[in-house]
Amino acid sequence: MIDAPIIIGGRPVACKSSFDVIDPATGAAFARCPSADEDALNDAVAAARAALPAWAVTPIEQRAAMLEAIADAIDARKDEFAALLSREQGKPRHGGAAGEIGGSIAWTRATAKLRPEIDVLKDDGASRVEVRRKPLGVVASITPWNFPVMIAVWHVMPALLSGNTVVIKPSSNTPLTTLLLVQVANAILPPGVLNSVTGEGGMGRLISAHPGIDKIVFTGSTPTGRSIMENAAANLKRLTLELGGNDAAIVLPDADIDKIASRIFAKSFGNSGQICAALKRLYVHDDVHDALVERLVGMAQAAKVGPGDDPETQFGPLQNRTQLDFVTQLAEDARANGGIFACGGTPMEGGGFFYPLTIVTNVGNGTRVVDEEQFGPILPVIRFTDVEQALAWANDNENGLGGSVWSVDVERATALAMRLESGTAWVNDHSTISPDVPFGGAKQSGLGVEFGTYGLDEYMQLQTVRINRE
């Protein structure tokens, strides 16, 4: 039995009920997770609020040192984290799972080095005007199932560094590694600074409406983000919402296919396509369309899809049955509307939630597989002849998380990329992020940004200080 209690006020708390955690490689339950109720949430918020005054005035260097210590503690148990992550999320243990844990460690260390700015707007003999940054209060983090450790780190570490206290609720599909992270951190942090709650349904609504929570940071679907925003209005909670993405890439006719094919493949199918900023719509000029599709198909057919505990596995299953069914529906709709499957296109036989790496052509805007975020290993490739038309198609979507342009002419590609309606635009790359560079969505892909000092500001209240010397 996996020991993964919720932590409130620095102590494990027993819950009255629990729920199954499913191994996506088998489709069968392998653990039980405690299920918190509204009373537990109230206790967690109360614990966070009680811990807030002392934590908020703890010098930032001390808070940063604790983040470094948390990174050390994760590192000491990285193999345990990776094994558990692979089991509940599905990604290969020695590939994506180990990479996520290593990335979480590095991101925690990078966050620990950030410092909020003090802006001096005026300083003369008569007066001084400063803009300072103070913690917001109690922050609630609601995390998704695609990167349950990394995204928890993205939410929690800047909140803690900024002097806030936190209540985190992981996805009920992948709660265990997040709960383990909270356990590890609580061996270092003062009681009540970081608390955890769980729940299969309704807990997110309780969190978003809770009057004792000052800010919510959420990564997940756009419909859920809208619901959080509506429920959070009662006490004007601050929000950071990183929501759905349906990122477009435009490959220009002069692109070097030999150079970019493997990069496009990796940026499309990483984590079996279950990445918010993955490349999800590939617009390719007619001059290079067939050559690029041929290269991508060859790599997809050579890839090893399998369970995360197999050392040869490169791509794991979809994380849950609902997502597998959704990807299957998109493929069926594409087929019914004339889509041609260059490879893949039907679920794999056997147990678990496996779907092959799939490339579909002869589709375009107006087809579900292009218009909707797949969040799975299915890539539509859309042929174009007019670059302006391709740009219009790329922008014709309610999402605007990221986008990219691929060309040997970097200046031309950059000019086109800047016309993409997206929070991030890449040139000859896609979905690359780093802890010192802001990341967030345009249009329906979210509010606010994460990472770096821009992201740190999202966890802090600006306070103008005007000092009269006369």
Beta bridge mates, 467:
128
Spatial separation of the C-alpha atoms in residues 231 and 303, rounded to whole Å: 44
Per-residue tokens: 254: 């002069």
The token pair at 31 is 């653990």
Q: Which positions ≥6 away from 153 have C-beta within 8 Å? A: 104, 107, 108, 111, 181
CATH superfamily, domain 6-243+445-468, is Aldehyde Dehydrogenase; Chain A, domain 1 (3.40.605.10)
Contact 182, 168 (CB under 8 A): yes
| Three-class SS of 104-164 | HHHHHHHHHCCCCCCEEEEECCCEEEEEEEEECCEEEEECCCCCCCHHHHHHHHHHHHCCC
Rounded to 5 degrees, φ, ψ at 232 are -80, -10
Annotated catalytic residue 242: yes
Active site residue 332: no
Q: How far apart are CA 278 and CA 414, in angstroms?
A: 19
From the centroid of its chain, how far is CA 345?
A: 26
Other Cβ atoms less than 10 A from the Cβ of 13: the count is: 18
* Residue type at 401 in one-letter notation: L
Among 100, 276, 373, 458, the active-site one is 276
**Residue of 88, 242, 450, 458 marked catalytic:** 242
For domain 247-434, the CATH architecture is 3-Layer(aba) Sandwich (3.40)
Domain boundaries, the chain: 6-243+445-468, 247-434
DSSP conformation class of 439: B
Q: Are strands 424-427 and 402-406 parallel, antiparallel or unpaired?
A: parallel
Alpha-carbon separation of residue 183 from 21, 25, 89, 188 (angstroms) = 18, 26, 19, 9
Please state whether the predicted TM-score (pTM) of the whole model is above 0.95: yes
Residue 183 · residue 169 · CB < 8 Å: no
Sign of CA dihedral 332, 334, 339, 345: negative
The Cα–Cα gap between 248 and 394 comes to 6
What is the per-residue pLDDT for 201?
Answer: 76
Q: Is 285 left (phi over 0), alpha (psi -120 to 50) or beta?
A: beta
The order of strands in the sheet holding 138-142 is 194-196, 165-169, 138-142, 215-219, 238-242, 446-447
Length of the chain in residues, anyone? 470
Cβ burial 32-62 (10 Å sphere, 16+ → b, else e): ebbbbbeebbebbbbbbbebbeebbeeeeee
3 state DSSP class of 258: helix
What are the pLDDT tens digits along the chain (470 aa)? 577 899 999 999 999 999 999 999 999 999 999 999 999 999 999 999 999 999 999 999 999 999 999 999 999 999 999 999 999 999 999 999 999 999 999 999 999 999 999 999 999 989 999 999 999 999 999 999 999 999 999 999 999 999 999 999 999 999 999 999 999 999 999 999 999 999 977 899 999 999 999 999 999 999 999 999 999 999 999 999 999 999 999 999 999 999 999 999 999 999 999 999 999 999 999 999 999 999 999 999 999 999 999 999 999 999 999 999 999 999 999 999 999 999 999 999 989 999 999 999 999 999 999 999 999 999 999 999 999 999 999 999 999 999 999 999 999 999 999 999 999 999 999 999 999 999 999 999 999 999 999 999 999 999 999 999 98
H or E element, residue 371 = helix 368-371
Are 465 and 132 within 8 A, CB to CB?
A: yes
pLDDT at position 408: 98
pLDDT of residue 125: 86
Pull the structure tokens for residue 26: 């088998």
SS3 category, 379: strand
**What pLDDT score was predicted for residue 470?**
86
Q: Which of 396, 414, 397, 392 is nearest to 405 (CA)?
A: 414
